[in-house]
Structure 1
Amino acid sequence: MVSPGPAPEGTGGSARGDAASRIAAEWSERTLPFRAGKALGPGAGLFGHYAQILPIGRERIVMTADGIGTKIEIAERLGRYDTLGYDLLAMVTDDLAALGAEPCVVSNVLDVSVLDDDIVDQLFRGLHDAARLAGIAVVGGEIAELGDRMAGYGASMHFAWSATCVGHLPVGWEPIDGSAVLPGHTV
């Protein structure tokens, strides 16, 4: 296989990242039959979107995961971490809202090099404040100390932060999947 080159300037991501995402999606899609016909099995035919709709009887939950990526370096350089909770919630809730679902609960994973209580406090204070603003509950998570497996800018705690968000798509609401959007429509 030929390695894809870099993405065009300004497109965010890379051709290699797109190829890796396709590989992950192909393997993930092969797991869908494992839950076919069962509660929380895939049922909306929206595989490949940023969020997946999962039926529970007549009710439907919507689920997605995302992280804050390289924005961590900005916080490291500024020594200010309280805004990252807002970004983390924005990264996962927008995927649900884009489908027309109401984001309800979030669980998160914070992988760190070493623990710094002040940074952890800033991160979770920001997450708390963002959750209050959005009307979302943080229902779980994990902090994992990974030592030298984590790298970053400067000598402070280095980390990666991601979350999973679960929302609700009310009965009678159709997901917004973009299929009815035509040129000239207001988005």
Structure 2
Amino acid sequence: MKNRYSADIEYLTVGLDHAKVEVEAFVNLGCPYCQTFFEVVDEVLKPYADDGYIKLVLKHVDRTKSKLLRGTVANNYVDHDDPIEGYNTMKELFMTQDSWSDSFKDTINKCENDLGLPELKAQYDRGEEVLKDFNERGLRIVPTVFINGEQVDYKPKELSKDEVAELFKNKIEHLK
């Protein structure tokens, strides 16, 4: 576990630091396309990370539009310094996105009462760093994914979950 009180900015990372492949994903908990992508992460990419083949870096992009803003609020409860707890919280929030992303009251209730999570002030600095990185790269949408530094060209709105899963599985398998 990272020191959550240090000034160092760390991102939610699953897998080994020295893995052969790094998958870096910019996501937002309120985004329905990120929800689909995270299902693919859980089913396709996480097993590769668990096997030590990939390092999966999840960067939450704080956005201010509608459901994305509620995703930003929910992200303040995700412990990005603890990969197991943080990943499981993200998974739960993505799986139940429809139940909490329509109102701020529902978002806070889900995080504080249903999940029993404290709001983590360290997320503010991390959120600023992710947004700075996102903007400096000229990125516009979430999810945006990079594999070994190369942006994956896909349009989340146009692909089914199965098509997204197949795309990422093929890209990872091709690097073996």
Please classify the TM superposition score into its range, dividing by the shorter chain length.
under 0.3
Larger CA Rg, structure 1 vs 2: 1
TM-score between the two structures when normalised by the length of structure 1: 0.24
Q: Which structure ranks higher in relative contact order (CA pairs < 8 Å, sequence separation ≥ 6)? A: 2
Give the helix-richer structure, 1 or 2: 2
